[in-house]
Structure formats: C-alpha cells, structure tokens
Amino acid sequence: TLRAANTLSGGESFMVSLALALGLSSLNRNNFTPDTLFIDEGFGTLSGDCLNTVIETLEVLHNIGSRRVGIISHVGELYERISTKIEVRKQAGVSEVKITG
C-alpha cells in the first residue's frame, strides 16, 4: 500500500532506511561497490517479527558473501544470533578489545 513516509513507525522507518542503504550500496559507480556497511542502533525500535526479518536478511547477505555488516547495538537478541562479535570495554582509561566467533 502507498503511504506517506511520516506515517511510518520507528521500526518501519528503520527497515526502509536499511533497504535504501543496501540498495544504494549496490550501485556501481566507477567500478566501486562498497562491501561493508555499519549500522548504529535502530534495532530497539523493531517488533519481534520485524527484528527477525532484519536479522535473517543480514544473515543472507553474510552467507552469500556480498556484504559485511557491522552492527552497533544493545539488543540482546542480536547478541545471541550474531556469531562474530567485537566487544570494546573501557578498562581504567584504556580500551580492551575482544573478538569472538
């Protein structure tokens, strides 16, 4: 259905933004196609079903090898479902980096 953009919920706006970012990143300009995309938050605005759809889409992109997606988030379900993690923790004025997966 056709809707005005200002009627979208927070989760719907996030999904539209993600779709646009992925679409724009696939445009080939001067033989340059970025293969890495970073997403900083927005996952907390998604309902359970929408969050699952977004995670499944990102997993498909990872599995076909066309895009690497870095996610910055506090959403627990993402933490459980994403196997490779980079954790940065502040330790007495310095940062400790831990990579798992």
CA distance 42 to 26: 22
pLDDT at 30 over 70: no
Helices and strands, counts by H and E, the chain: 3, 4
Helix (H) or strand (E) holding 87: strand 85-91
3-state SS assignment for residue 46: coil
Higher confidence at residue 61 or residue 53? 53
61 pLDDT above the threshold of 80: no
Please tell me the distance from the alpha carbon of residue 87 to that of residue 79, in angstroms, as a whole number.
11
What mean pLDDT value characterizes the chain? 80
Residues in the chain: 101
pLDDT at residue 13, rounded to an integer: 82
pTM score over 0.75? no
Per-residue pLDDT for 29 more than 70?
no
